[in-house]
Structure 1
Amino acid sequence: MGFVSTTFDVLIIGAGPSGASAAVHAARTGLQTLLIDASSFPRDKTCGDGLTPRAIHQLELLGVADQVTGDYFNKGLKLHGFGGSVEAPWPETYFTNKGSAMSRMEFDDLLFRLAKSHEEVTTWENASAQDPILRGNFLEGVVINHAGQEKTVKAKHVIIADGVRSPFGKKLGRQWQRDEVYGIAARAYCETPLSDEPWIHSHVELRDEDGVVQPGYGWIFPLGNGTVNLGCGALSTDTRPAKINTKKLLSFYAGQRRKAWQLGPEHDVASALLPMGGAVSNVAGANWMLIGDSAACVNPLNGEGIDYGLETAAMAVDTLVENPKRDLTLVWPHRLRDAYGETFMLARTAARLLTYPQFLPMAGPLAFRGPLQKAIMPAAARLMGNLITEEDKDLLARGWQAAGSAISWARKGSPLWDSTSSLV
């Protein structure tokens, strides 16, 4: 079969933000780590490029936050729609109160180079994980095509961080529950003299060319480098699919914002499909686990996943270090549910409401122009920034936390990182 490597402590499949940061955390604990990616760096990735304070906090722990926020940072979110606007600064929490944005071409390369700088980390670019070598649900080895050469790698543990489609995760039994809410999105870059604008902007009244309100939102994330990331996303289910062409809607949305933002033409347009809110099953086996987008750790209300990717990377390494001989089949899904379960279940339920055509036209004006505006919308902005925490004292924030248990009970049959592995 070709070259058989020396056994590594950890093999990480996928060197995006989740995989690269997992490699850094693993290296810091002394684990000999192989980090592979199917592409070579720098490379692009379809994304909104926004970095919430929650993500910046993780970058502080990695030691690279200043490299991200040094040239540009934002101070909060402006929500627009239904005749109103709300300005919501990032809250003072145990996270930093700085946000930022950086193109994934730059951001992913930054974290990959950080991982590569550790002597405990070996990196292979243009290396695609082809086939698992399994004994039950124990992953004994992985066949990797590295720059055209087939290699077999053995590792004590394998962390899979190969993105939303997770091709290697699928070979281990990962299944996407498409009856749950998922996202469809498109993004582009536009030149503008307003790229230093210190707020990110979201338009939750997203209308198509026929004036129909869509179940999603448009965004403009200034990058501080003469461009903005501009995009739109819609929520969908198998029973209520979003009947839109995302790239066409993106072009229409850009046209609506062009004058105010002095936007140049859209370029580097890309689109993606996004499982969200933990709506995948079979995310772990005896010695392997899925993290970040691969495990659908994405906010169902806004498509944000970088902060969860960085967090689950640290959690995964912690889990391995705490008890390196532990069977992860039940442990890892339990840890994900403990960290995000109630929040994701509630968010998925709220997102499902948005897929009903009549909901947004009815609720939007009440939220943006009605008496609830000042009480509701700042908390909604925190929600959009993944900043609802136990420390939040706002009424809606506490309601968000408390409602999680009721929603979890009401939708207890809804899959959330189902721990039953099809490989057992």
Structure 2
Amino acid sequence: MVQVGSDDADVIVVGAGPAGSTAAYYCASAGLTVLLLEKAAFPRDKICGDGLTPRATREMVAMGLPIRAEDGWIRNQGLRVVGGGHRLELPWPELSSYPSYGLAKTRMTLDHALADHARAAGAKLLERTNVTGPLLDERTGRVVGVTARPVDDAGRRAGDERTYRAPVVIAADGVSARLPLALGLEKRMDRPMGVAVRTYFRTPRHDDSMMESHLELWDGEPHRSNLMPGYGWIFALGDGTANVGLGSVSSTAAATRVDYKDLFAKWMKNAPAEWEFTPENQVGPVRGAALPMGFNRAPLYTRGLMLVGDSGGMVSPFNGEGIAYAMQAGRVAADAIVQAQARPTDAARERALETYPRIMRDDLGGYYTLGRYFVKLIEHPQVMRLCTRYGLPRPLLMRFTLKLLSDCYEPRGGDMVDRVISGLSRLAPAA
């Protein structure tokens, strides 16, 4: 990690999504010079459910990001679970580690707010800048920067390629993971992979205080038609619309043969009437994206390059939540970089940078392993059907389910459910 006089910044962050903007914010807040490169121009859309669990809300609060209603946020108080003939409303757990509410905001505005927050902290944001690859030191093979070129709103080349240099580069470049792939860091095929599609509907229930999760998707009248693979969600956004989508998960990264848009259309024909999800009320097309799960790319740090968010496969196998873990990774990565900058030798700086993957693995590795077991169980629709029919009415099981679906449990202490989840996470191998 040798400082070079021609460096453009102390750290380059590639991608201004939640992971990248969070890392840029914390680095800039600590006094580092930060270059945040984003291929699109804000505001820009991303495929997402737009619902934030209390775990993600905690990260927003820690950054000092304004989350007032007048800033376009709507708070949700819990999870409404529909499945197996049951309809349960489960308030978010009351914990010392997390707030007892979640949030919702479109990625169009969320990502813009996070990028602006990073810029206000001192990060330099370059929009319409498409990073084309890593810049490697010819002698050591270490990443010492990136190559990039300006693009127009359609992503077409709009200028000459240039080089940006920094002693550390953060890859927050999403599912495409262009930078990790350039270093030969392929995705692991033994990790779960999800696929999600979503659209927006105008709805009279746009201010619903509960996030709604449908654990069974039927292509006709429930229990008299075919049970389809996947689960659905309805997240009210408070602006006259709701984000409506469905996801499916596989225990491996192999591509599925499911036609998700057709699956979504069949579900919408049988969606709850009170939401008024009619073709006339649909806003925009159905769009989809992959959800890389359970640390599906490793190592998270190598040769001057850190992987955060989707580039490192940090989506939770339990619920498809990615934003909370992306922001956590950005925060932890930034802390490692800040500590490294204060060390007097290259060897000491490298030891500080190597704390990042260790902290992430220690905190989430065992939990994600449990998630892989969970996926192997529920990827079969008939197993999910039995679990929802006979498991949902049982209060103890639902307490487990809620804490897993919200990704919120006390890591130390708490009640019996917290202690069991924490214990299992510590016992499970963090591979």
Tell me which of 64, 85, 93 is aligned to 1:91: 93
CA contact (8 A) 1:215 1:360 kept: no
CA contact (8 A) 2:308 2:326 kept: yes
Report the Cα distance in structure 1 between the residues aligned to 2:210 and 2:59, rounded to whole angstroms: 21
Report the Cα distance in structure 2 between the residues aligned to 1:42 and 1:239, rounded to whole angstroms: 31
Tell me which of 276, 292, 315 is aligned to 1:262: 276
- Provide, for residues 210-236 of structure 1, a one-character-per-residue CA deviation record: whole Å limited to 9, x for no partner: 933344310000000000000000112
Report the Cα distance in structure 2 between the residues aligned to 1:92 and 1:226, rounded to whole angstroms: 29
Report the Cα distance in structure 2 between the residues aligned to 1:69 and 1:170, rounded to whole angstroms: 41
Instruction: Please name the residue that 1:76 is paired with.
Output: 78
Query: 1:18-417 residue pairs with structure 2 within 5 A?
Result: 18-67=19-68, 71-93=73-95, 94-118=97-121, 120-135=122-137, 136-147=140-151, 148-208=159-219, 211-238=225-252, 242-265=256-279, 266=282, 267-324=284-341, 325-327=349-351, 330-369=354-393, 373-391=394-412, 393-408=414-429, 416=431
CA contact (8 A) 1:86 1:378 kept: no
Q: Offset at 1:238?
A: 4.7
Bigger drift between 335-344 and 68-77 goes to 68-77
Report the Cα distance in structure 2 between the residues aligned to 1:112 and 1:342, rounded to whole angstroms: 31
**In structure 1, the residue corresponding to 2:80 is in which secondary structure?**
strand
CA contact (8 A) 1:186 1:231 kept: yes
Report the Cα distance in structure 2 between the residues aligned to 1:42 and 1:388, rounded to whole angstroms: 34
Q: Offset at 1:406?
A: 4.1
Report the Cα distance in structure 1 between the residues aligned to 2:85 and 2:184, rounded to whole angstroms: 47
CA contact (8 A) 2:133 2:146 kept: yes
1:401 alignment partner AA: S
Bigger drift between 258-267 and 93-102 goes to 258-267
- Provide, for residues 83-135 of structure 1, a one-character-per-residue CA deviation record: whole Å limited to 9, x for no partner: 112221111222211211111001011111112223x3111111111121223
Give unmatched runs, 5+ long, in structure 2. 152-158, 342-348
Number of residues paired by the alignment? 403
Bigger drift between 62-71 and 134-143 goes to 62-71
**In structure 2, the residue corresponding to 1:247 is in which secondary structure?**
helix
Question: For the structure 1 residues 57 and 313, does the alpha-carbon distance in structure 2 shift closer, same or farther, using more than 3 Å as the test?
Answer: same
Question: For the structure 1 residues 68 and 306, does the alpha-carbon distance in structure 2 shift closer, same or farther, using more than 3 Å as the test?
Answer: farther
Question: For the structure 1 residues 78 and 170, does the alpha-carbon distance in structure 2 shift closer, same or farther, using more than 3 Å as the test?
Answer: same
Instruction: Please name the residue that 2:155 is paired with.
Output: none
Give unmatched runs, 5+ long, in structure 1. 417-424
CA contact (8 A) 2:19 2:309 kept: yes
CA contact (8 A) 1:5 1:151 kept: no
Identity of aligned pairs, percent?
Answer: 33
Instruction: Please name the residue that 2:345 is paired with.
Output: none
Question: For the structure 1 residues 187 and 69, does the alpha-carbon distance in structure 2 shift closer, same or farther, using more than 3 Å as the test?
Answer: farther
Say what the alpha-carbon RMSD is for the aligned residues.
2.3
Q: Offset at 1:282?
A: 3.2
**In structure 2, the residue corresponding to 1:211 is in which secondary structure?**
coil
Question: For the structure 1 residues 363 and 75, does the alpha-carbon distance in structure 2 shift closer, same or farther, using more than 3 Å as the test?
Answer: same
Q: Offset at 1:278?
A: 0.9
Instruction: Please name the residue that 1:16 is paired with.
Output: 17
